[in-house]
Chains A and B, each alone.
Chain A
Amino acid sequence: MSREWTIKSALIAIAAVLMILGGAPLYKHRHYEVPVVAGPGVTSVIKLSEFVPSLKGSMADADVFVLEGKEPGGKVLVMANTHANEPAGLLTAVIMIENAVVEKGTLMVIPEFNASAGRNTRPGDGYPLYYDIPTEWGAKRFRMGNRDTSPLDQWPDPDVYIHYPDKQLLSFIDVRNTNRTWPGRPNGPLMEKVTFAAMEMMRKDRLNIAIDMHGAETMFPVTNCIVAPQKSAKIATLVSMTVKAMEGFDNHVEPSPPNFHGLSHREIGDFSDTLPFLLEAPIPFLDQPTGPKTVKLLLDGKDPFLLSLSKKKKLFVPYDENGWPIEKRVGQHCSVALEIIRQYSKKNPDTAIRISGIPRYADLVKNGVGRYFHDPAKAEKKSVYYE
């Protein structure tokens, strides 16, 4: 071999090793499956492609767990992982799927609404690929996703995202953000198809309530709150007052801006009869001025920089040495969702919904999140789904 090709072969070998070292963990992450044990309440599992057939076979074809009660009543949809880097929603959704029992009405749960973003990551921000939740039977491993759909599923991005149908100009990245692509269209970019499928489900199945669970930075004013449009505002206010009085945590109401398009709390209400609510729990991990983006920070929310900012009154939530642990965030989502359902049912006895088996804020703070996950190894094979 000539000297030239000896050097070139060595360089190719080094590049190949770098590619394998960098690529293999990403490939594994994208294809890692999280087992979810369908609990006693689950009556069927459908897919979003039932409403938009072209989603079939794509990474974006999310599962919808249906928990139908014996007694007819109203219908509520709970969505998580609209933003797959805000894990409190996903953990809440899995708790609901594995534990809820519906006595009256129907509960529908989409644990990974942006199923592609749940298989994406943000290496430039040092995101961990996984996080483990300790349980009595060992650690349950979840993928840490990204805010946006993987470009492997939706590519390229436009220079500017022109929202449909309002023609509002949004950032290019928002074409892959499922909280900007509502209400969507059946032949638009992939994420518009996803939101359109959910809209179709709400319209055809006549859903009464839609709850979209998120997390937001402690330095962002719209955090630790319920975002609601005018038509949901009354229930949201009652919920906010009730959880404060009965369960002792703050969750204020933020009005949904009428002229900011593409968000679930805006478009679901405008394009269907369903009442939308968007829940925000604080997630210190997403704040910019923190220490390393570790799994520990993701789960306990403790950060010395946020603590000093809190003393300077720069945060929008109370913050002390205890951080903002995941069990508190999941507990808030559980209690607020249950309270929305209860307040709605009080006002609408014909379409009331009655659910048991879902823990509330105090239960989660006391027992932790892992206490409510069931061991897939001990469950019947047919009741284990992979998300």
Chain B
Amino acid sequence: MGVIMILYYLICAYILGLLAWDFVREKKSVNDMILYLLVLIPLLLRILRIK
């Protein structure tokens, strides 16, 4: 695995963390909660090395 590939996985994990944190902090809008989760799925699939 190249250095750039490792950096991209780190970026991926960082954005995943931001989205998860936004999801936790969202108190009211169910719509926003769903959107955070939806955006989070492909990042998680990449980190788990599934897609």
Taking Cβ atoms with an 8 Å cutoff, the residues of A that contact B are 4, 7-8, 11-12, 15, 18-19, 22-23, 26-27, 30, 151-152, 154-156, 189
Contacts and interface: CB of A to CB of B under 8 A. Distances in A.
B33 A152 contact: no
Contacts, number: 39
A12 B30 contact: no
A8 B33 contact: yes
B23 A8 contact: yes
A19 B4 contact: no
A23 B51 contact: yes
Contacts of A156: 4-5, 8
Contacts of A152: 46, 49, 51
Contacts of A15: 37-38, 40-41
A11 B5 contact: no
- Counting chain B residues whose Cβ lies within 8 A of the other chain, the interface size class is 20 to 34
A156 B45 CA distance: 15
A7 B32 CA distance: 12
B27 A4 contact: yes
Contacts of B45: 19, 22-23
A12 B26 CA distance: 14
Contact of A11 (B27, B33, B48, B49): B33
Contact of B50 (A8, A26, A154, A155): A26
B44 interface: yes
Contacts of A4: 27
A1 B14 CA distance: 29
B19 to A, nearest CB: 11
Interface in B1-25: 2, 4-5, 8, 23
Contacts of B49: 152
Nearest to A8: B33
Contacts of B5: 154-156
Contacts of B34: 11
Given A15-B38, A156-B5, 14 more contacts: A4-B27, A7-B30, A7-B33, A8-B23, A15-B40, A19-B41, A19-B45, A22-B45, A23-B48, A30-B50, A151-B46, A154-B5, A155-B5, A155-B8
A152 B45 CA distance: 10
Contact of B51 (A8, A18, A26, A154): A26
Contacts of A19: 41, 44-45
A27 B50 contact: yes
